[in-house]
Amino acid sequence: MKTRPVRQICPSRAGARVPAGTAIPVTPGGTEVVWVYAVTADADPARLSGLTGVAGEPVRLVTEGGLSAVVGSVSDNPFGERTLPSLLADLTAIERAGRAHHRVISKVAGTGPVLPLRLATIYADDETIANLLLKRWAELTIRLESLRNTQEWDVKVYLKPWKGADDEVWLDPATADLASADDISPWTALEACAEEINQKLTRISVAARRRPSPLPSLADDSGWIVLRCAYLVDTEHAARFTEIVTSVTVGHSALRAAVTGPWPPYSFADR
């Protein structure tokens, strides 16, 4: 039985249906609020030249004590506290905003460590943001330094879709021997294989964040997810990281893996 290759892709996390340059329409007039994309210590203003955000606004820096918040001034309609919930109830609007938010963070991440902020983080003005940078200076500085020269890689390991009642169709010889020797179910044996992958990847990573796997569905022809995890990896180890996923899954024909990255450290930027 042939294994399916590990896929390495790097799409925008917000999807692929909305053109990258599409901004969310705003209502003329009214007041402005400040949308915050990320915090960094190595921002280069020249690198932000021409970069626009969720409303097509120019992206700029608010700097205090050597830290910079990457921000954009946007209309309070639809981005204010009163109208934002309605905006985020619109899936198309979320996709547009998510694409633009990710685009800004990715650009900044190319210059040094970055702490991405959640989508729709807004403040009243620059002064409020500067005060927060000063108040949390020590915490933010330590966190940014811990992320220097790292990338996030996400891994999903799938069990191939169920084909019938005969469990043996799932098992390559190594996994079948494991199930037989320990008198455990094939499903448990395959979960053990996924955990083996997780342990090997964790050992090469700076940090790992495991996510709950959704309940399996017989209607899901992509396979059942037995491992979902984000890994923070030193940039110099990225190639070795993806090699490990390939080397482990190639020995288990019932499993396939999808690797996405590199990403800014979304899963490791404690809010």
For 167-221, how does the pLDDT look when each residue is reduced to its tens digit (9 = 90+)?
Answer: 444 444 444 444 444 555 556 777 777 788 889 899 999 999 988 776 655 445 6
21-67 pLDDT, tens digit per residue, is: 455 544 445 588 999 999 999 788 888 889 999 989 999 999 999 99
How many of the other CB atoms lie within 10 Å of CB of 44?
Answer: 14
1-18 pLDDT, tens digit per residue, is: 333 333 333 333 433 333
Adjacent-strand bridge partners of 198: none
The residue among 91, 115, 146 that closes a domain is 146
Residue with tokens 């979304």: 266
Sign of the Cα pseudo-torsion (47, 260, 250, 244, in order): positive
Look at residue 193 and tell me if it is in a domain: yes
Question: Do 44 and 123 belong together in one domain?
Answer: yes
Q: What angle do CA 36, 38, 93 make, to 5 degrees?
A: 55
The residue among 126, 146, 166 that closes a domain is 146
Higher pLDDT, 16 or 83: 83
User: What is the C-alpha to C-alpha distance for residues 152 and 259, in angstroms, rounded to an integer?
Assistant: 11
Look at residue 177 and tell me if it is in a domain: yes
Look at residue 5 and tell me if it is in a domain: no
Please tell me the pTM assigned to this model: 0.74
Q: Mean pLDDT across the chain, nearest whole number?
A: 77
Task: Give me the domain span that covers residue 72.
Answer: 32-146
Adjacent-strand bridge partners of 52: 58
Adjacent-strand bridge partners of 35: 72, 122
User: What is the C-alpha to C-alpha distance for residues 59 and 115, in angstroms, rounded to an integer?
Assistant: 16
**CB-based contact 167:190 (threshold 8 Å):** no
Task: Provide the token pair at 15.
Answer: 């999807």
